[in-house]
């Protein structure tokens, strides 16, 4: 039940972002979503005394917030003004692939198995099928914006894993959302992004769903899912989200699905699965005390999404699982 609920909660944001930006400026969408989600999660974080420890680590916290929420949420909303919501959701399935590059860039490269390299190749072919064959040339700017989102979603968890893995997950997400809202208030006021008319009911509901369901509730669901099935199995949720995004876009918004959408979908998901697949234990290790399974760079540097979290009382799930944060 938790798995299905989270798969929906993290698969529908693209649909509601698409609806929201039809009337609201992307900056206003980010402000509304982050402010409401922060209002919901901050009291819980204060009650659990998790805010102070996060604020003390303010430098990596600000870096994480910038690359995981402040920039990605804006570029994602802007890109969806021109891209179908289903395509946006599918392109974000490449985050594990970007996680490999981030691991190398941060000086933490690991040997990749043949299956990992095959996964990278599949992922690149999948993106090529989408960008080169299924997206109009006029939308390449939107694709570039999605690339920024993908890199941010891969870099954020890497920052958490390296500098904040011991911090409580709810506190990290709540503070990050609050900081995002504070940053966007002057941005919205001074750039004319504030709406000049009352948005439609559909748009207001979309922003509320993005904040309550896709951000605050989704994070709490992820905490519960990790507690129930463990961080490794919980990462498989990342393969459900794109499917939900495509179905929601087609059923609700009537978006068109081409053969290249399907080809790209299969290749990207296959690539993401293979690139995060752990290397098998070598025969030499048989009969000896089992060593911890080797992790791919994506296992260490990729989280969906604020990101997935939680094992012990004081450890963030980010440090254990490559799951995305609520998008």
pLDDT in tens, 17-65: 999 999 999 999 999 999 999 999 999 999 999 999 999 999 999 999 9
Q: What is the mean pLDDT of residues 102-112?
A: 70
Average pLDDT over residues 104-133: 75
Residue 144 above 70 pLDDT? yes
Within a domain: residue 285?
Answer: no
Q: Rounded CA gap, 101 and 99, in Å? A: 5
Work out the number of other CB atoms within 10 angstroms of the CB of residue 140. 12
Residue 302's pLDDT is what?
42
Tell whether 124 is covered by a domain: yes
Tell me what percent of the residues of the chain surpass a pLDDT of 70. Answer: 78
Q: Over the stretch 189-231, which tens digit does the pLDDT of each residue have?
A: 999 999 999 999 999 999 999 999 999 999 888 878 877 876 6
Could you give the number of structural domains in the chain? Answer: 1
Closest CA to 172 of 42, 276, 281, 80: 42
324: in domain = no
Percent of the chain with pLDDT over 90: 40
pLDDT at 288: 41
* Radius of gyration in angstroms for the set of CA atoms belonging to the chain, rounded to a whole number: 19
How many C-beta atoms lie closer than 10 Å to residue 84's C-beta? Answer: 23
Beta carbons of 237 and 6 less than 8 angstroms apart: yes
175 in any annotated domain = yes
pTM of the predicted model as reported, rounded to 2 decimal places: 0.80
Kindly state the tokens that stand for 65: 């917030």
- pLDDT-based confidence at 110, cuts 50/70/90? low
CA–CA gap between residue 39 and residue 176 (Å, rounded): 12
- pLDDT at 320 exceeding the cut of 60: no
Three-state SS sequence of the chain: CHHHHHHHHCCCHHHHHHHHCCCCCHHHHHHHHHHHHHHHHHHHHHHCCCHHHHHHCHHHHHHHHHHHHHHHHHHHHHHCCCCCHHHHHHHHHHHHHHHHHHHHHCCCCCCCCHHHHHHHHHHHHHHHHHHHHCCCHHHHHHHHHHHHHHHHHHHHHHHHHHHCCCCCHHHHHHHHHHHHHHHHHHHHHHCCCCCCCCCCHHHHHHHHHHHHHHHHHHHHHHHHHHHHHCHHHHHHHHHCHHHHHHHHHHHHHCCCCCHHHHHHHHHHHHHHHHHCCCCCCCHHHCCCCCCCCCCCHHHHHCCCCCCCCCCCCCCCHHHCCCCCCCC
Confidence of residue 317 (pLDDT cuts 50, 70, 90): very low
Question: Is residue 98 in some structural domain?
Answer: yes
Whether the predicted pLDDT of 239 surpasses 80: no
Residue 96 lies in a domain: yes
In-domain check, residue 203: yes
Residue 169 counted as domain residue: yes
Distance CA 79, CA 144 (A): 9
Q: For residue 92, what are the domain limits?
A: 2-280+291-319
Show the tokens assigned to 141. 């700017």
Is 322 a residue whose pLDDT tops 80? no
The two tokens of residue 320 are 């254990």
pLDDT at 117: 81
Is 248 or 242 the better-scoring residue by pLDDT? 248
- pLDDT of amino acid 71: 97
pLDDT at 55: 96
pLDDT at residue 223, as a whole number: 77
Distance CA 17, CA 231 (A): 28
Q: What is the pLDDT of residue 133?
A: 61
């Amino acid at each position: 039940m938790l798995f299905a609920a989270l798969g929906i909660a993290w698969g529908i944001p693209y649909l509601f972002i698409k609806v929201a930006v039809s009337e609201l400026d992307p900056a206003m969408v980010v402000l509304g979503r982050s402010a409401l989600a922060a209002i919901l999660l901050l009291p819980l974080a204060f009650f659990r005394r998790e805010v102070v420890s996060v604020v003390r680590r303010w430098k990596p916290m600000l870096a994480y917030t910038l690359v995981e929420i402040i920039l990605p949420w804006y570029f994602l909303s802007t890109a969806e003004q021109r891209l179908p919501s289903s395509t946006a959701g599918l392109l974000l399935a490449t985050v594990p692939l970007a996680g490999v590059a981030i691991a190398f860039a941060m000086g933490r490269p690991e040997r990749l198995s043949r299956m990992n390299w095959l996964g990278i190749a599949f992922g690149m072919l999948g993106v090529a099928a989408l960008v080169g064959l299924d997206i109009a040339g006029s939308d390449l700017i939107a694709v570039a914006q999605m690339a920024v989102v993908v890199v941010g979603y891969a870099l954020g968890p890497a920052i958490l894993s390296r500098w904040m893995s011991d911090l409580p997950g709810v506190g990290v997400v709540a503070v990050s959302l609050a900081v995002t809202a504070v940053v966007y208030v002057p941005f919205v006021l001074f750039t004319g992004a504030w709406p000049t008319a009352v948005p439609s009911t559909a748009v207001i509901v979309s922003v509320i769903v993005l904040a309550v369901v896709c951000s605050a509730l989704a994070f709490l669901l992820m905490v519960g899912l990790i507690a129930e099935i463990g961080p490794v199995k919980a990462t498989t949720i990342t393969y459900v989200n794109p499917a939900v995004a495509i179905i929601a876009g087609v059923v609700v918004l009537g978006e068109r699905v081409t053969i290249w959408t399907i080809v790209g979908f299969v290749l990207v998901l296959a690539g993401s699965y293979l690139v995060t697949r752990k290397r098998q234990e070598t025969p030499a290790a048989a009969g000896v005390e089992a060593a911890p399974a080797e992790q791919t760079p994506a296992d260490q540097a990729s989280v969906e999404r604020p990101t997935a979290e939680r094992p012990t009382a004081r450890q963030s799930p980010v440090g254990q699982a490559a799951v995305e944060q609520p998008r």
